[in-house]
Structure 1
Amino acid sequence: MTTALTEQTLGSLACLIPGATRVFRHYKLDFCCGGDTPLRDAALQRNLDAQTIADELAALESESTTEPDWRNVPVGSLIDYLLERFHERHREQFPELIRLATRVEQVHGNKADCPTGLAEHLWCMQQELESHMLKEEQILFPMLRRDMQLPQTQGPIAVMRYEHDQHGAALQRLAELTDDITPPANACNTWRALYRGLEELRGDLMQHIHLENNILFAQASAH
């Protein structure tokens, strides 16, 4: 059974097994923008043992969970969840993270491990994500609510997927600026609070992209 899991894509496993996304984040496997990559290949690229990861996923699969199978949820309910759980949350996250990052750079800018440029990067991420979410809220989501089979949804979906790849690149840059969101040993409380918030943002954004790319958009494209 677990051998078969290594042949499946990260995106399909993330849909299939509740908790799989947590395992993938632990191993730094990109299940959102890289969702089309089989587990075996993704593990190979990072010099990881695919079978070990598959065994962890199989153990998760046998556990009971309250997480709904989003593939079987009505499209309107999934969109409502995306708006409430991720769109609203991201709008809350960025102002505070930018404030904390600015503070850390002002106070610790003379230290070699200071994440110089982080506040500006977060500001750019905020602008790009806000523009992206507005396009979904004003154009794509209303179209999908009306009719998942409309052929004219494919253009906006292609644009959203492209922008998701850009968000993935922004997360990679975020990791580079912050030593993979690892605070130095002598980091102050503000610095640690900032990195806890960044870790939460990264997890939320990856889950957000996964649900759109691998479930919502995939279902619309399958019609």
Structure 2
Amino acid sequence: MSSSAFLDRSLGDLARSIPGATAIFHRHQLDFCCGGKQSLRDALAPLGLDPEPITDALLALQDQPGSEAIDWRGATASELIDHILARYHERHREQLPELVRLSRRVETVHADRPECPHGLADHLEEMLQELESHMQKEEQILFPLIAQGMSPTGLPPVEVMRFEHDQHGQSLAQMVSLAHGLAMPRGACNTWRALLAGLQTLREDLMQHIHLENNVLFEGLNAPEAATEGGCGGACACAGAAA
């Protein structure tokens, strides 16, 4: 297979089918979660990046025997939901309050420095409130429906979650902008260093979280055995590309 064949596949498809692809996309600032419908070719065009090193790296990952990454396409919806709840929902509830605290400290102590992320703490508090509301809707309404065997195809709560995912993507972009591209300033104190490292981790975690929902869970997975007897009768196919 030629590595150029990857260019016309969507970022979402590549992210969910090649373990490790998301690390490459993070490195080149390619939005595979909210922008998962876009082809790799179209995503690279405005960035002026040479596609060959990226497609070669994807080919190397695909040909690599064995991988620690899990292909969630083979899981049941309930298994993926349990993973999302434990790995991302609980984690975000830990991450954001601490990042707000760190940001407030940096903005207070280093207010006179041009690299100071002014307004970041307020923005992170808004992100926390919006994300908490979003996760509660998933936990209380959407996830139980999917876990019981209901197909996500055309399900109104799914469309609401996709829309809110786009808003989270915009919030991440604003977060990075307020933090001056997450660049480490000269002579940064330990608190500032911890803040920037935490912001980078939050960005990667939230993008992976959105990817697993938009491009895998909402595209339809196997229903749990208990639901297939009186529910959808097996795998729930969801047409259309990931948003």
TM bucket (normalised to shorter chain) is: over 0.9
Structure 2: where are the runs of 5+ without partners?
221-235
CA contact (8 A) 1:115 1:177 kept: yes
Tell me what 2:88 maps to. Answer: 86
Aligned-pair distance for 1:181? 1.0
Cα 1:125/1:150, change in 2 over 3 Å: closer
Matched residues in 1 for 2:152 and 2:118: separation? 46
Deviations 1:66-86, CA, capped at 9 Å, x for gaps = 212111111100000000000
Q: 1:140 aligned to 128, 142, 149, which one? A: 142
Q: Flag the structure with larger Rg.
A: 2
Name the TM-score, length of structure 2 as normaliser: 0.88
RMSD over aligned Cα, in angstroms? 1.3
Tell me what 2:103 maps to. Answer: 101
Matched, 1:12 2:13: yes
Alignment of 1:158-197 (within 5 A): 158-197=159-198
Aligned-pair distance for 1:61? 1.3
Structure 1: where are the runs of 5+ without partners?
none
- Aligned residue identity for 1:179: H
Matched residues in 1 for 2:51 and 2:36: separation? 15
**Residue-pair matches, total:** 222
Tell me what 1:52 maps to. Answer: 53
- Aligned residue identity for 1:180: G
CA contact (8 A) 1:154 1:221 kept: no
- Aligned residue identity for 2:238: A
Matched residues in 1 for 2:31 and 2:237: separation? 21
Tell me what 1:123 maps to. Answer: 125
Matched, 1:222 2:224: no
SS in 2 for 1:222: coil
Name the TM-score, length of structure 1 as normaliser: 0.96
Aligned-pair distance for 1:17? 0.6
SS in 1 for 2:155: helix
Select the structure that is richer in helix.
1
Matched residues in 2 for 1:218 and 1:62: separation? 25
Matched residues in 2 for 1:149 and 1:33: separation? 21
